[in-house]
Amino acid sequence: MEILDVKQYPLRILRKKCKPVRGITREDTALFDRMLHTMKYYRGVGLAAPQIGISKQLIVANIGEGAVKLANPRIVQRSGIDEMEEGCLSVPEKRVNVKRTYKIVVEGLNNNGKTVEIKAEGLLARVLQHEIDHLSGKLIIDYLPFFERINYKVRARF
């Protein structure tokens, strides 16, 4: 299976708000599989469509408990706070401490186009939130303190 090209900051596609999917097509189903394959190849635990240059609300994740494939994911419940260091395939060699919700409930369309609800906590909740951030153009560097963020952005452009 083809390994997709992972886009890296500062490419513009990573800052665009993605378009919702109207329904799951055969192409979307195949894309989910290619995204998972690419994610595994790069040893990631999540991947969003804009990271491979596609402005669609599609994400995949796998923390070792089985693959999650979601279109149009949205968080409908949150509780608790957790802080942990995160990395990102689109922001290589940068680790950032990020505060996120510890437990979430996410709604979206699964691989078959059915509306599903996923209850997640801990690492899976963190990964889903990270990938959902990508769909609105938000990256882990946006969680850096102001001056560190500016410094990173300036250096990344050269």
Q: For 28-87, how does the pLDDT look when each residue is reduced to its tens digit (9 = 90+)?
A: 999 999 999 999 999 999 999 999 999 999 999 999 999 999 999 999 999 999 999 999
- Is residue 93 annotated as part of the catalytic site, yes or no? no
Which of 65, 107, 131, 148 is catalytic? The answer is 131
Give me the CATH code for the 12-156 domain, please. 3.90.45.10
Report which of 144, 152, 134 is spatially closest to residue 7, judged by C-alpha positions.
Answer: 134
Name the percent of the chain lying above pLDDT 70. 99
Q: List the structure tokens of 130.
A: 């990270």
pLDDT digit string, tens, across residues 134-157: 999 999 999 999 999 999 988 887
66 backbone φψ class: left, alpha, beta (φ>0; ψ -120 to 50): left
Q: What is the pLDDT of residue 158?
A: 67
Exposure of 66 in the CB half-sphere (CA atoms within 13 A): 2
- Residues whose CB is less than 8 angstroms from the CB of residue 80 and which lie 6 or more positions away in sequence, other chains included: 101, 102, 103, 121
